[in-house]
Structure 1
Amino acid sequence: MEFLKAASLRRLPTSKWQSLSSSSSTTTTRLSWTCSSSPLPRRRFTTSLPRLSTVTTKTETSKPYYVTTPIFYVNAAPHIGHMYSMTLADVLKRYQQTLHSRPAILLTGTDEHGMKIQQAASNKDMHPKQFCDETAEQFKELAATAEISYDRFMRTTDQDHVQAVEHFWFLLQEKGLIYESKHEGWYSVSDEAFYPESQIEKRQDPFTGEVFMASVESGSKVEWVEEKNYHFRMTAMREKLLRFYEENPEWVVPQKRMADVVDWVRKHLTDLSISRPVGRLSWGIRVPGDGSQTIYVWVDALINYITAAGFPNWTPGRTEVGGWPADVHVIGKDIVRFHCVYWPALLLALDLPMPKQVLTHAHWTMNRTKMSKSLGNVVNPMYVMNVHGTDVLRFYLMFEGGIANDADYSNDNLLVKHKKYLQGGVGNLVSRITRSKLWNLREIVARSETGRIKSQEERFAPFEQVLAKLPATVDKHMEKLDPVSAIRAIMEVVTEANALISEIEPWRLKRSTEQKDHEVADEMVYLAAESLRICGILLQPFLPTKAAQLLDILGVPLEKRTFKYTELFSDSSYGEAIIHPGKGREDSLFPALYAGLKAAEEKLTTIKKERKQAKKRQRQAERGKEVDEWWKPQASSSEPSV
């Protein structure tokens, strides 16, 4: 391949790829609401169940599962939309890694070049790098608090990325795909993009009455620009792009956006301006050999996905070791053109492998209105997680989030969904099964293995069928990149399990003097426990902390928490709690949120005090004073104590 030959001419230092084991740390947060195979035991019941052998088995491969988020622009603090992209990608990664035991890589990070950054830094009278450093830390803090299991946090100011971008440019030049020309057109600083005349319209600001030209696609204000810069011969890639789309009709998810991409390439594709004069844009990577031009931010940003995979230092025949091609790019619908037209065109130009799929999700609104800092309706996810808990917000985003259509954020709706599905669903079922003194869960599970539960209660058959099919249903949704349908299917089974146990009332049957009633009660308890065990395993990618607690309460061994053990009756070793299930409402798996609001506010007050004290100690240390009253230097044999 030509890119490998070119790479050998200009070999770069090997990039430092971080460990595949993600680290997460305890962080503090902002306080405002808005942003400033073992053989399986035989079946116990009579119902004919489908076997999980019908589910597609993941094949072993040397290539890790590679999923990416967008690299987020650091011109403002992170909001709920950023966390949604992160969580979608994290769920996809954890599903492959935790349930299917496949090595997986998650890339996230920040996009730190471009005019928006230059202007934002200038408005705060800061150097752009200092501004980027501060804002990038906020995104890292969000990722850590949201339990995003990323393996690398990419910053486009990282040296290995700068080298990869320069090398990519060099390869395009070598192939004669870059030329210099005068460019004029409508440019949006907000979108960092030129728009053709056909995509421009007049608009009026509803608040100020100002009339301005705007992009039809994004609504962003545009200005007429005339300048000399470099262009990429993207029109030379038109037929290759259309052929690729035709051969890969499911490349963009959902399908309707695939159609939009194809239509755009057919009607609007032009050569792409890929540099800006330094006089207009100085904050970015300079064009190799021409210090008067800065590389277009989107060319710079898109290359991050292969930087993280080791480009350009790929060994022939082993390019997949770093993860490329990506299995899934997770992006918002507003950057579809950049990822689904520009990016594949650049890759095709160098004969590089294409990403396998692009998951494009919709946006979050509030009161059916697009979130905007000027309107004060941009949800701060850090505050929500501190008040309600990380897994609660992860659940809400996955359960209510929009892939094809926008989703509306509502704190009241979050409380309703939590009460119905987490507190009254999963949490209630856990308490019913594990807290009762009328039965011993471990004894019931153990007896089931020997076939001593034989009631053959016909009322259980329909639910047993649903539970047996659940893993295959979830797996199918995840293969289609639809975590929303997957978690809803899980919650439907939990709801049915609660309804069935309310109908059977095993606590009442256990007080009966009839042996048959005891058998029915045991069968009900065991079936409910199986539903919790299977749902708990499947919930691990969505609710990493709470799902682990659930499985600990059930006593499910760590090695039996993979997809293999989601088959009904595939594990008879659980039932003895690893952690106590609690006694009351407040120490239940999912306590009521309203009961925890006061405690959460007290916690936030404590955090503020601790942060203030930490800053005070830091200032004292910098002045050479003692950091804490209890701290005293230790005496040594070589010098006297102070």
Structure 2
Amino acid sequence: MMLLSRSSRVAGTTAYQCTCRYPYPRAINHVARRFQSTASDTEPKKPYYITTPIYYVNAAPHIGHLYTSVLADVIKRWQQFKGNESVLLTGTDEYGMKIQQAAGRAGIDPKEFCNTGAETFKKLADTANISYDRFIRTTDEDHKEAVQHFWRVLRERGFIDLKKHSGWYSVSDEAFYPESSIEQIVHPPTGQLILVSKETGKTVEWMSEENYHFKLSAMAPQLLEFYHANPTWLLPSQRYDLLKAEVSRGLEDLSISRPRERLNWGIPVPGDDSQTIYVWLDALINYITFSGYPWLPGGTRPSDKDKPAVWPADLQIIGKDIIRFHCIYWPAFLLAIGAPPPKRILSHAHWTMSKRKMSKSDGNVVDPFHAMDRWGVDTMRFYMCMDGGIVNDGDYSNTEVEDKYTHYLGNQIGSLLTRICSKKHDIAGSLRSEKVDVQVELTEEMDKLYNHLRGNVLEGVRERMEERMERCDLGGALREALGVVAETHKYIHAAALWQEGKERVRNYMLYPALEGLRISALLMQPFMPERMGRLLDLFKVRAERRGWECAALGMDFEYGEGTEGMKERLFPRIYSREQQMEKVKASRAQRRA
């Protein structure tokens, strides 16, 4: 037996501070300085600004849209959890040829068509508990004004020319592709030979017309300088290497308008009503429309000149299929007008099913509304962060969703809550004895268990998660918190505090298990805000003690009182398939009503 006090074995907590440097090259240092906050320590700092792509309204949302939005929302909530102001932008892309054609096929006005599509995507964000600050639409009036002003600046700086253009054009991608980016394939449904973009697999057709061009070719040296100065700008690094190699080979000037006789659903070119602004120039500007573009010196908006600037975005999240547009065109546009590119871009992989690309013709497209109806919103958020791919595609499986729900959520997190809240435990007594540093006699085995959970598992888990989140490794971060849950279960089992004869050490030994549940729940709030909020409510953790500072050992001694014997099942057992379908039907009927 040995006499030990808590104070002799608890490592001191370490203050953690994350700094993010953005090393612009000397050639564009003046651009960076214009947008650096000059606020003193007593003034507000720049909010952490994160964006999703804006989604096309010509087709229904799919699981990939949900995944992108969940990634963005988790990162935003993590920043808020750390005490940082953070803003999230999402929305819909509503101009362009494919919208014009889809509205024509539907026999309705393009704006009416867009209204329906935008409402569906907004409902997806709301259903998934995405905490966006604005749902932007490219048909918004302030966006139109921002786009036309951006065009005028490009033209005044000599970056726009009018000339004849011929090339391979994809209506689906709203993009021209060079000959080297085109390949011939067999169209699976028809067996016909078709030409497609190598990058996206979308059909292309030869098109020749006179339109305006952006001098992209002239921007290649500046882009390469920017990439060199920002080696972690695009994640993951594998795609960054491919991007730099592509730009190193040289760039062609970019068509940024279409004749209005072919494309009338779009923003007119200022001073030339015969042309419509090309959709990607229009669409990408939404990210600075939100920031109040055109800006005053320093990057603030005219109407909010006393507020800190939002741009540049701290993180822009995109799918791997739109890297060219966001990592070549977008920074080139910004540098051309004298504005800094975003600080970092995360490009994620796609979702497959049974290792096959999802497609309507194959009947393997996952409806995100149906998935959330069936499994629950937080279950889907959890699953997507666990199994979603960044480098490699994630493979969607209902069996995996159910298995992860049962194992991690039900048998691990939910079960830990009920085990901690056993009738045999005196939670308030355990916290009181910890606070006053009560000394007890422990066996060597019990002391080893105690020190492992407290020193090896709980100490530093917050910082380990932050390191993962800084690398945008959301799955890894989530597994750090789940590791705490699993180790706490092992601790409870090994300590066997329910046994007779352990009354004298029960309160002492219970404390790290209490902290294992509290700290892991705090750290998982950004991933599962509703369910972890409910767990913390049940565990009587005060609302003002659910932030970063409290997610460490010994930072809260006033929770859990009166929860002994609590029986609520945080994650109920999975329903039978018949019960699931009835639940889905009822939810759909309620949504339609």
TM-score normalised per structure 1: 0.84
Task: Assess, with a 3 A threshold, how the Cα gap between structure 1 residues 577 and 350 changes in structure 2: closer, same or farther.
Answer: farther
Tell me the CA shift for residue 92 of structure 1.
0.8
Task: Assess, with a 3 A threshold, how the Cα gap between structure 1 residues 208 and 524 changes in structure 2: closer, same or farther.
Answer: farther
Is 1:565 the counterpart of 2:550 in the alignment? yes
Tell me the CA shift for residue 524 of structure 1.
3.8
Task: Tell whether the 8 Å contact from 1:203 to 1:213 is kept in structure 2 after alignment.
Answer: yes
Number of matched residues?
559
Task: Tell whether the 8 Å contact from 1:251 to 1:357 is kept in structure 2 after alignment.
Answer: yes
Q: Deviations over 1:380-435 (max 9, x none)?
A: 1111111221100000001111111100000110011111111011101001011x
2:495 maps to 504
Tell me the CA shift for residue 438 of structure 1.
1.0
Task: Assess, with a 3 A threshold, how the Cα gap between structure 1 residues 348 and 599 changes in structure 2: closer, same or farther.
Answer: same
Is 1:147 the counterpart of 2:147 in the alignment? no
Is 1:241 the counterpart of 2:223 in the alignment? yes
2:409 maps to 422
Task: Tell whether the 8 Å contact from 2:433 to 2:508 is kept in structure 1 after alignment.
Answer: no
Task: Tell whether the 8 Å contact from 1:79 to 1:378 is kept in structure 2 after alignment.
Answer: yes
In structure 2, which of residues 447, 450, 462 is the aligned counterpart of residue 460 of structure 1? Answer: 450
Tell me the CA shift for residue 462 of structure 1.
2.0
Letter of the 1:439 counterpart: H
Task: Assess, with a 3 A threshold, how the Cα gap between structure 1 residues 79 and 175 changes in structure 2: closer, same or farther.
Answer: same
Task: Assess, with a 3 A threshold, how the Cα gap between structure 1 residues 506 and 356 changes in structure 2: closer, same or farther.
Answer: same
1:431 maps to 418
Tell me the CA shift for residue 128 of structure 1.
1.1
Partner of 2:317, secondary structure, is strand
Identity score, percent: 48
Tell me the CA shift for residue 374 of structure 1.
1.8
Task: Tell whether the 8 Å contact from 2:427 to 2:561 is kept in structure 1 after alignment.
Answer: yes
Q: Deviations over 1:141-200 (max 9, x none)?
A: 110110000000000000000010000001011111100010011111111111111111
Tell me the CA shift for residue 556 of structure 1.
1.2
Task: Tell whether the 8 Å contact from 1:286 to 1:294 is kept in structure 2 after alignment.
Answer: yes
Task: Tell whether the 8 Å contact from 1:50 to 1:468 is kept in structure 2 after alignment.
Answer: no
Greater displacement, 47-56 / 222-231: 47-56
Task: Tell whether the 8 Å contact from 1:55 to 1:472 is kept in structure 2 after alignment.
Answer: no
Q: 1: distance between equivalents of 2:519 and 2:342?
A: 32
Q: Deviations over 1:528-561 (max 9, x none)?
A: 1101111111111100011111111221111111
Q: 2: distance between equivalents of 1:160 and 1:175?
A: 23
Is 1:63 the counterpart of 2:46 in the alignment? yes
Q: Deviations over 1:315-369 (max 9, x none)?
A: 5464683411100001110001100000000000011022110011111111111
Letter of the 1:478 counterpart: M
Structure 1 segment 280-291 matched on structure 2, within 5 A? 280-291=262-273
1:606 maps to 586
2:119 maps to 137
1:588 maps to 569
Tell me the CA shift for residue 453 of structure 1.
5.8
Q: 1: distance between equivalents of 2:266 and 2:441?
A: 72
Q: 2: distance between equivalents of 1:577 and 1:594?
A: 31
Structure 1 segment 226-237 matched on structure 2, within 5 A? 226-237=208-219
Tell me the CA shift for residue 497 of structure 1.
1.3
Task: Tell whether the 8 Å contact from 1:228 to 1:277 is kept in structure 2 after alignment.
Answer: yes
Tell me the CA shift for residue 279 of structure 1.
2.2
Greater displacement, 307-316 / 141-150: 307-316
Letter of the 2:429 counterpart: E
TM-score normalised per structure 2: 0.90
In structure 2, which of residues 431, 434, 455 is the aligned counterpart of residue 448 of structure 1? Answer: 434
Partner of 1:52, secondary structure, is coil
2:27 maps to none
2:25 maps to none
Is 1:49 the counterpart of 2:11 in the alignment? yes
Task: Tell whether the 8 Å contact from 1:111 to 1:156 is kept in structure 2 after alignment.
Answer: yes
Task: Assess, with a 3 A threshold, how the Cα gap between structure 1 residues 378 and 302 changes in structure 2: closer, same or farther.
Answer: same
Letter of the 1:183 counterpart: H
Q: 1: distance between equivalents of 2:115 and 2:122?
A: 11
Task: Tell whether the 8 Å contact from 1:445 to 1:575 is kept in structure 2 after alignment.
Answer: no
Consecutive unaligned residues of structure 1, counting only runs of 5 or more, are 1-41, 615-642
Q: Deviations over 1:565-612 (max 9, x none)?
A: 11212211112268x9852xxx411112236x5555434443455567
In structure 2, which of residues 317, 330, 336 is the aligned counterpart of residue 349 of structure 1? Answer: 336
Letter of the 1:246 counterpart: H
1:15 maps to none
Task: Tell whether the 8 Å contact from 1:364 to 1:406 is kept in structure 2 after alignment.
Answer: yes
Letter of the 2:559 counterpart: Y
Greater displacement, 239-248 / 381-390: 381-390
Task: Tell whether the 8 Å contact from 1:43 to 1:569 is kept in structure 2 after alignment.
Answer: no
Task: Tell whether the 8 Å contact from 2:299 to 2:309 is kept in structure 1 after alignment.
Answer: no
Partner of 1:187, secondary structure, is strand
Partner of 1:507, secondary structure, is coil
Task: Tell whether the 8 Å contact from 2:266 to 2:276 is kept in structure 1 after alignment.
Answer: yes
Task: Tell whether the 8 Å contact from 1:453 to 1:519 is kept in structure 2 after alignment.
Answer: no
Task: Tell whether the 8 Å contact from 1:504 to 1:521 is kept in structure 2 after alignment.
Answer: no
Q: Deviations over 1:455-502 (max 9, x none)?
A: 552222222222112111001111122212101111122112112212
1:18 maps to none
Is 1:118 the counterpart of 2:100 in the alignment? yes
Task: Tell whether the 8 Å contact from 1:582 to 1:588 is kept in structure 2 after alignment.
Answer: no
Alignment RMSD: 2.1
Partner of 1:594, secondary structure, is coil
Is 1:483 the counterpart of 2:469 in the alignment? no
1:182 maps to 164
Task: Tell whether the 8 Å contact from 1:178 to 1:233 is kept in structure 2 after alignment.
Answer: yes
Letter of the 2:173 counterpart: D
